Amino acid sequence: MAPSSSIELRHLRYFVAAADHGSFRKAATAVDVKESAVSRRIRDLEDHLGASLF
Positive/negative CA dihedral, 7, 46, 27, 34:
positive
So what's the pLDDT on residue 19?
Answer: 97
How does residue 50 score in pLDDT terms, banded at 50, 70 and 90?
A: very high
So what's the pLDDT on residue 51?
Answer: 95
Give the tens place of pLDDT for each residue, 1-49: 455 568 889 999 999 999 999 999 999 999 999 999 999 999 999 999 9
Instruction: Give pTM, 2 decimals.
Output: 0.83
Q: What does residue 2 show for φ and ψ, rounded to 5 degrees? A: -70, 150
